[in-house]
Each structure stands twice: as C-alpha cells, then as structure tokens.
Structure 1
C-alpha cells in the first residue's frame, strides 16, 4: 500500500511540474514579437484581432490618395480634376460664355467677367501659331507676365486679376484663365497640380510648366490639335 501511495505522489508531482513548465513557455513578452503591419501577426494567439494595429491600417488606407473625380465646379469642367470639356461638347451644349471671378488691383472691386469661347480661343491659337518658332517649350513673356484686362469700374488698364487667393486647387477656373491668357497668375504649385492630375511631366522652371499647361488645355479643348514644333 505504501508503494502505491508513493507512486501516486510521484505521478501527481510529475503532472504538476509539466503544467507549470507549459504555462511558462506560453508567457512571452510582447516586446519580443511586436505586431507587424500588413501580416497575419495582426491576429493574436487567442484569435482576437489587434484593434490598435487594424485602426492604424484603416487610417493609412483612407489617407492614401484623393479621388480623381469631383463634382464639376463649372458647367465647362468635367468631373475629373483639372480637365475641361471639349470645344465640341461646349458648342453642342451652347456653353459659349465662360465667366470667372476677378478683382481690380486698383479700385478693389470684385465682379464676374465673361469671355467669349470662340473669339478668345481663336485669338489664343493664332498667337501660338505666330509665336511657335520662338517658344522652344517655354512660355513666352506674354504668358509669364499677362497683360490684365481693363477694369469696368475705374477704367484702369492692366488692372483686373483673377481671384485665386484662398481658392482650392480643385476649384480653379482653368478654362477662364486659359482663354484670358492669365494662367501666369497661378503659382507654380497650382500649375503643378494641374499637370499632376493630367498625368503630365511637372518638373522644371515655371516657364516650362506654364507652357505645358497651355498645351494640355489646347488638347483638352481640341483633342486632334497638336502642339507646335520648336
């Protein structure tokens, strides 16, 4: 009987040591195996998801980029950033008066200015045709330093500038600036935004970026138009 009790005690001791040893093996410092973003380690040993990691991943995904489509800010703008409708579409839909918000630098009056689509486009294309030999993929002085319109209120020449300060880049009135040959009033950052969303090369000095912006808008309006060769 004594031998049987000794054997039972030995078995109990062996079982207890085995359980304690297994519990120690399961305890691991979280610092030794930190969760790695984007792997199955986001799921813990007990089957629960690491909430902190998954929330962080969601935030990164949401801020990864902006949508290319937006509500059209103007009747002559498409739902794509920095893309205007073709001339054919505008004429078919009788969109021939292109307006924009302006301010006089002298009398400080703010008002809407209206440009005639066909008249201004013909004037611009004629300018490109006559100046193509001197451009060399760079904006001419007239585009870099635009001659501004005359103010209807105070009568001052070269005084009416487009209202761009505080305007979100997605709301810039590209067609109005193009027809008025006032794209040079945009900052380099605004012009690069345009080229970015039209999938065009956007590095270099402002005169090159400005030239590319005019050429892209010509192509948007008249898809079969080709830039002049230098």
Structure 2
C-alpha cells in the first residue's frame, strides 16, 4: 500500500509541474506577442509622422491691398474743324428704321399678289375708226408678263415634196396664191371684202348651208382675246379653242350643233373662215401641221401647241404689225 501511495503522489506532483510549465509558457508567449504588436504600432506611427510633416499655420490674408493712385486724366484736346461732308452727314435727320416682314428683302415669304387688272368690256357692235384696232388699244393698257422666249429652231420647215409647188390658184377671194396664206386686213378692207363666208352642216338635221362672218368684228374679238390671255397660255391653246363652242343651227335651232365643212384637200381649207368663227379646233392634227409647215412654224408637238401656233400665225397674216408674235 505504501508503494502505491508514493506512486500516486509522484504522479500528482508531475502533473502539477507540467501544468505550471504550461502556464508559464503561455504567459511568456502572450507577453512576446503583445510586445511585438506594440513595436509594430510604434513603427507605423513613426512612419506616418515622417511622411506628413506637421502643418504650419498660414499667414492671414490682407484685408485690403493698397492700390496705386490712378493717373490724372489727359488734358482736353481742342476741337478740330469739320469738313463740309462731315457737316452734311451730321446734319442729316435720323429716321427710325422700320422693317416690315412683308416688304423687307430678307423676308422669305412669297411676294404679295399683284392687284387685279380690270379690262373694259369690248364693244364689238361699233367698228373702230380706220387704222385703229380695239386690241391695239388694249395692248397699250395691259402690263402683264410676256410669253416665254422663242427658241431658234433648226430647219423648222421642209420644202414641198417633188412635183408640188408653193404657189396654187387662190381658193378664196381672201386667200393668196401661197398655201395656207391669207391677205392682210388692210388689203381686204381696201378691196371691200368685209364678209367671209364658209360652208357648215348641222350635226342634228344634217342640213348644209352657207354661214358668213363680219371680218372686222370677228377679228377684233379674236385679237382682244389673245392680247388678254396670251401671257397665261404658255404657248398652248386654251380649252375653248380645242373644243370650240359651235353655232346654233338656223333651221332646227339646236345649240352647239353646226360644224364647219373642211375640205379634204388641205390646200383648199378655208383658214380665215375657221379663224373668225374660232373653229380651228375642228381641224385634225395633220391639217394643222400642214398650215405650220407652209407658214414656217415648228409643227412638232401636241395638238394644243400646233393649234396655238395656227391662231397666232393667221392673226399675224391679217395684221403683220400686231401683237401676235410668239
């Protein structure tokens, strides 16, 4: 029993000694770690203190700077004598500049429309005095834009085919011996040819008879219409010429029913009768081209263009100095 007790006591002492050694080692380790951390913190603080020097207080800004004294003003100069041109410019009155959106040249809007032009009604019941034409009186009072400029055409006409001549027997008293040509108005008045006749046929009752037109009255009517509307035609015949309003039949009294009888031979067409009755639109395109060919007019184009040239060409033949140029 004694030996066992001694062994237990020895074991207990050994255990206590180990525990004590462990506690001492732990305390030493904690002291070393604490000392290490303390040394590192001191090193960091030293580094920071070396990098950022202590800030010095800035000197206070001056409240007000002392500015140098301003230089004295220059002495006044004596007035220089003004020239006559400067005096005139100086004495001109200054008017305020009023810019209107409608009249200023920089205004981008469309210009105002021109005032309407009123034409006096033509009196066709009374004849003008000799040598004075009604359309000439209206031409001097009308101020409108002219028609488009005429382009010079190359080889506008062709010579008649072989075996045909430019001269033919005059088919009517008012026609000349040249194809598609009539006498002037002065010549016809001098020869007392004041009425132009032609054959017509009613499309309803099919009666054929002769119709006559007063030369001066009907020509003034055509001339006045051309002068009034030429600037708006643009080298094209209007609808009233393309689809003419035909006369009424004197037998059945049917309105817009009498058509002219146009000869199948182009050299025998009654051009002056068709002009005075404003029935040239009843001609075919080939017949109108025939007229333009022998009157040295360009004949290529649609019917409204060739018809327009035919009207102006016949009016120019009647009155060579009238306002019937293209």
TM-score w.r.t. the length of structure 1 is 0.70
The reply on whether 1:129 has 2:231 as its aligned counterpart is no
Higher relative contact order at CA 8 Å, sep ≥6: structure 1 or structure 2? 1
Answer whether contact 1:129 1:228 (CA < 8 A) is retained: no
The residue number in structure 2 matching 1:183 is 280
Retained in 1: the 8 A contact 2:227–2:323? no
TM-score, with structure 2 as normaliser: 0.50
Question: Any idea what SS the aligned residue of 2:179 has?
Answer: coil
Give the distance between the partners of 2:164 and 2:325, measured in 1 at CA.
33
Instruction: Work out whether 1:138 is the aligned partner of 2:236.
Output: yes
Match of 1:86 in 2: 184
What corresponds to 1:112 in structure 2?
210
C-alpha distance in structure 2 between counterparts of 1:104 and 1:77, whole Å: 26
CA deviation digits over 1:178-199, x for unaligned, max 9?
A: 0100000000000000011111
Of residues 41, 44, 67 in structure 1, which corresponds to 2:165? 67
Matches within 5 A, 1:201-212: 201-212=298-309
Task: Name stretches of at least 5 consecutive residues in structure 1 with no aligned partner.
Answer: 1-62
How far apart are residue 64 of structure 1 and its match? 1.6
Name the CA distance, whole Å, in 1 between partners of 2:325 and 2:166.
Answer: 29
> 1:76 is matched with which residue?
174
Separation (CA, whole Å) in 2 of partners of 1:211 and 1:186: 13
Deviation at 1:227, TM superposition (A): 2.6
Select 1:155's aligned residue among 237, 253, 271: 253
SS at match of 1:192: helix
Query: Secondary structure at the residue paired with 2:315?
Result: helix
Which structure has the greater CA radius of gyration?
2
CA distance in 1, matches of 2:187, 2:215: 12
Contact 1:70 1:81 in 2 (8 A): yes
Kindly state the Cα deviation for residue 228 of structure 1 after the two structures are TM-superposed.
6.3
**How many residue pairs align between the two structures?**
166
Partner of 2:316: 219
Distance 1:77 1:134, change over 3 A: same
Runs ≥4 residues deviating over 2 A:
226-229
Partner SS, residue 107 of structure 1: coil
2:295 aligns to what? 198
What are the superposed Cα offsets for residues 192-227 of structure 1, whole Å, 9 maximum, x if unpaired? 000111111100000000000000001100011133
Kindly indicate whether the alpha-carbon contact (under 8 Å) linking 2:312 and 2:325 is maintained by their aligned counterparts in 1.
Answer: no
Greater helix fraction, Structure 1 or Structure 2: 1
Unaligned runs of 5+ residues in structure 2 are 1-160
